Structure 1
Amino acid sequence: MHEHKLDQPAFGIALQRARRRLGLSQSTVATKVGLKQSTVSRIENGNVFQSSKVNELRAIIDDAAKEVDLEGVVANVANSPELRALVARILDGSMHS
Structure 2
Amino acid sequence: MAEAIGEHGFELHVWARRSASLAAVERVPHTVHGSVADLGASAELIGLCLRDDADIWDILDGQGLLAAITPGTIIVNQGTGDPAEAVRIAEHVARAGCG
Query: Same fold judged by TM-score > 0.5?
Result: no
TM-score range, shorter chain: under 0.3
Larger strand proportion of the pair: 2
Specify which structure has the bigger relative contact order, considering alpha-carbon pairs within 8 angstroms and separated by 6 or more residues: 1
Q: Give the greater-gyration-radius structure (CA).
A: 1
TM, length-normalised to structure 2:
0.22
